[in-house]
Amino acid sequence: MSVSKSFRLVACVSALALLVVSIACNSGGSGSTNGSVSLQGAGASFPNPLYQKWMSEYGKVKPNVKLDYQSIGSGGGIKQLKEQTVDFGASDAPMKDEDLKSAPGEILHVPTVLGAVIITYNLEGVTQPLRFSPEVIADIFLGKIKKWNDPKIVADNPGVTLPSSDITVVHRSDSSGTSAVFTDYLSKVSAEWKEKVGAGTSPSWPTGHGGKGNEGVTGQVKNTPNTLGYVELAYAVQNKLPVAQIKNASGNFITPSIDAVTAAASGSLATTPDDLRVSITNAAGADAYPISSYTYILVYKAQKDAAKGKALVDFLWWGIHDGEGFAKDLQYAPLPADIVKRAEAKINSVTANGTALR
Amino acid sequence: MSAIAENGKLKFAGTNSTWRRALSPTGNTGDAIFRVLMLLVALLMVGIVLAMVFALATDSMLSVRQFGFGFLTSQRWDPIKGEFGALPFVYGTIASSLIALLISVPFSLGIAIFLVEQAPHYIARPVAFLVELLAAIPSVVYGLWGIFVLAPVLRQYVEPVLAKTLGWLPLFSGSITGIGLLTGGIILAIMVTPIISAVVRDVLAAVPGSQREAALALGATKWEMIRVVLVNGAPGIAGAVILGLGRAIGETMAVTMVIGNRPQISFSLFDPSYTIASAIANEFTEATGDLYLSSLVELGLILFLVTFVVNGIARILVWNVTRKTGGVGRAA
């Protein structure tokens, strides 16, 4: 009996030892060894489909660069970049001054593409797209306009028969860059909104139901009559949702489209600062769609690892040139040429150990 | 290690027999190693729980210091202005869980009684299997079903009837959208029914057959006999209910998708509400700013403590009934 037992014991102990050794071996070896570089990024979920496309396409161009992007949300991306656990971050809204100040190094904003937020609704019997003025949208989301046949909505929509039913507002319940862009817009067009609610990823909504994610809002709007909500343009196009026209700063009602979003960026060129941190909601320009925004990749100006830094700037350069070609298919608006030029300057200013990487 | 394995026995350097006996009463080396390993695993679990409480407590200190007890009584939740109060979430969590229990408990009791006392084996087995299968469905699937099936059904058929007949009650007033506290409660009820019915079934099965025979021998009808069994199992049934409550309180995804996610205290079951778990899941990803994060962590701490207490009570009640039935069954 004892022979077999001690044998079992030995087997047990050696198996454990093997396990420990193999774990110890696996934990070593990552980063830039034998010519291949791996870059980690994290942040906004809005551009995630595009970034995943970029990474798989870039892998064909530069097989030795391994890219990984986690769409954990803009807030998480900024946090991880500040803690230097990722090589690049991504955010829909530009970083705030206090966030930039508390970061361990200078952070650059490289715009990659543009997106838009659209108003969708579920209103039986209405076939033509509804039109909204900015102040009407603000009043609906403030809970001041309660009925679909409110004179203010009727005034924007001559010839449309609107029901007398209550408007059920649907907004995002999860904190999101989409909400930030939308409330940034409302804060610009309504003083009351700015004072009572303000702009942010997770505002305290005066009225309405919350749905989780674009899909949650869409699910509620599609399944509940007389609802109105906001979602990303890309999501609305892919799901063929009814989309409202919105009156822009020039007084034209604009159907959201990729071109109208790029027009909003072009219309804001004069007011775009050097660091490219800019809100382009309610932009100037006759064709500009008013609820548009940039999305950014965030990088440190002074890179610690020259090999990684070089791979990063090369990837960004490829992104704002070749990568823009994939934007339209995925319903993102490409950058206007002037912004590409200014983004190039940002990428060229990245250094490692004091020397430029491009 | 100073112990040398030889002939399957442990020999310590000092041949300290008390140590040896403590590690392995049978004096077997394999047993001793197994015992130590299991002890470590058990201690690790306790350690993880303590580490969680510690992390939640330290990370929520900022919010605790800033708002104090007011965090529990304030109704305002405005991340932009930096004001945080947990009361609407606590209310939504408790209200949705209670609705779930009100619906689920009668169903679960019925299922358990049927399975233990009435159904023949060839029916009881598949029915029990199907009910327990409900517990294996991922909660996000419940949520999708809630949005696409349950909410429209409630909006079109159930809620208008409730509003018409019971509309004079504040519980059934307000606009009908199919998304809100009632929908969240019903989804939860479906989710906790398998848990409650499974535990009640075990509790009823643990009531000794002699109880049933005694009741029947005294001339009791089947219904009266079942009542005797239920009374005997009452503490265990209460435990099952509280286990279900614990599940309902912590459920996140399915509720988030149908409850409307609005931090408000409204007595109407048709109005949107918000639970603690949903709030954390919704807001954590994009939460920036130390106070905001800290407030979310404090919500987590509150949720942790509530579930901890609820599960503790459930354990004591279930233990109470199983201990009794271990010996000769006692009449109620």
Q: What does each of the 358 residues of chain A score in pLDDT, given as a tens digit?
A: 444 555 555 554 555 554 444 444 444 334 444 578 999 999 998 899 999 999 999 999 999 999 999 988 888 899 899 999 999 999 988 998 988 999 999 999 999 999 999 999 999 989 899 999 999 999 999 999 999 999 999 999 999 999 999 999 999 998 888 999 999 999 999 999 999 999 988 899 999 999 988 888 998 999 899 999 999 998 898 888 999 999 999 999 999 999 999 999 999 999 999 999 999 999 999 999 999 999 999 999 999 999 999 999 999 999 999 999 999 999 999 999 999 999 999 999 999 999 999 8
Residue in chain B lying closest to A196 (CA): B81
Rounded percentage of chain B residues whose pLDDT exceeds 90: 68
CB B240 within 8 A of CB B196: yes
Alpha carbon of residue A41 to chain centroid: 14
Contacting B with CB below 8 Å, chain A residues are: 1-2, 5-6, 8-9, 12, 72-76, 78-79, 99, 166, 168, 173-177, 197-205, 208-212, 216, 219-220, 223-224, 227
Q: How far apart are CA B258 and CA B181, in angstroms?
A: 8
pLDDT at B23: 63
Residue in chain A lying closest to B30 (CA): A9
The predicted-structure confidence for B274-325, as pLDDT tens digits, reads as follows 999 999 998 887 777 789 999 999 999 999 998 888 888 888 887 877 676 5
The predicted-structure confidence for B213-251, as pLDDT tens digits, reads as follows 999 999 999 999 999 999 989 888 999 999 999 999 999
Residue in chain B lying closest to A177 (CA): B286
ipTM attached to this prediction: 0.73
**For residues A183-214, b (16+ Cβ closer than 10 Å) or e, as one string?**
bbbbbbbbeebbeebbbbbbbbbeebbbbbbb
Strand residues in B137-266 grouped as ranges (E): none
**B215 phi/psi in degrees, rounded to 5:** -60, -45
Measured between beta carbons, which residues in chain A are less than 8 angstroms from residue B261? 173, 209-212
**B259 phi/psi in degrees, rounded to 5:** -90, -10
CB A172 within 8 A of CB A183: no
* Prediction pTM value: 0.80
Select from A176, A204, A224 the Cβ nearest to the Cβ of B77.
A204
Select from A12, A76, A210 the Cβ nearest to the Cβ of B261.
A210
Task: Kindly indicate the confidence band of residue B101, based on its pLDDT and cuts at 50, 70 and 90.
Answer: very high
pLDDT at B284: 85
Residue in chain B lying closest to A179 (CA): B286
pLDDT at A141: 97
Residue in chain B lying closest to A4 (CA): B8
**For residues B30-50, b (16+ Cβ closer than 10 Å) or e, as one string?**
bbbbeeeeeeeeeeeeeeeee
pLDDT at B310: 85
Structure tokens at B45: 């679990």
Closest CA to B329 of B223, B200, B204, B220: B204
Least confident of B54-58, B188-192, B272-276, B322-326: B322-326
pLDDT at B301: 95
Contacting A with CB below 8 Å, chain B residues are: 5-9, 28-30, 33, 76-81, 147-148, 151-152, 155, 175, 177-180, 256-257, 260-263, 272, 274, 278, 281-283, 285-288
pLDDT(B56) > 50: yes
Rg of chain B over all Cα atoms, to the nearest angstrom? 25
Alpha carbon of residue B81 to chain centroid: 34
CB A39 within 8 A of CB A315: yes
Helices (H), ranges, chain A? 2-26, 48-61, 74-82, 97-101, 134-142, 151-156, 177-189, 191-196, 213-223, 233-238, 258-267, 306-321, 337-348
Measured between beta carbons, which residues in chain B are less than 8 angstroms from residue A223? 147-148, 151-152, 178
pLDDT at B63: 94
Measured between beta carbons, which residues in chain B are less than 8 angstroms from residue A198? 80-81
Select from B77, B175, B283 the Cβ nearest to the Cβ of A174.
B283
Q: What is the 3-state secondary structure (H, E, C) of B224-256?
A: HHHHHHHHHCHHHHHHHHHHHHHHHHHCCHHHH
Least confident of A143-152, B132-141, B180-189: B132-141
Residue in chain B lying closest to A165 (CA): B175
Which residue of A91, A147, A174 is the best one to mutate when testing the B interface, meaning the one whose CB has the most B CBs within 10 A?
A174
List C-alpha distances in Å: A199 to A65, A233, A287, B41, B287: 38, 20, 25, 49, 14
pLDDT at B285: 76
Select from B7, B155, B278 the Cβ nearest to the Cβ of A224.
B155
Which residue of A209, A214, A215, A221 is the best one to mutate when testing the B interface, meaning the one whose CB has the most B CBs within 10 A?
A209
Rg of chain A over all Cα atoms, to the nearest angstrom? 25
pLDDT at B297: 95
More confident residue, B330 or A118: A118
pLDDT(B1) > 50: no
**B211 phi/psi in degrees, rounded to 5:** -60, -45
Q: How far apart are CA B227 and CA B233, in angstroms?
A: 10
Measured between beta carbons, which residues in chain A are less than 8 angstroms from residue B286? 73-76, 174-177, 201-202
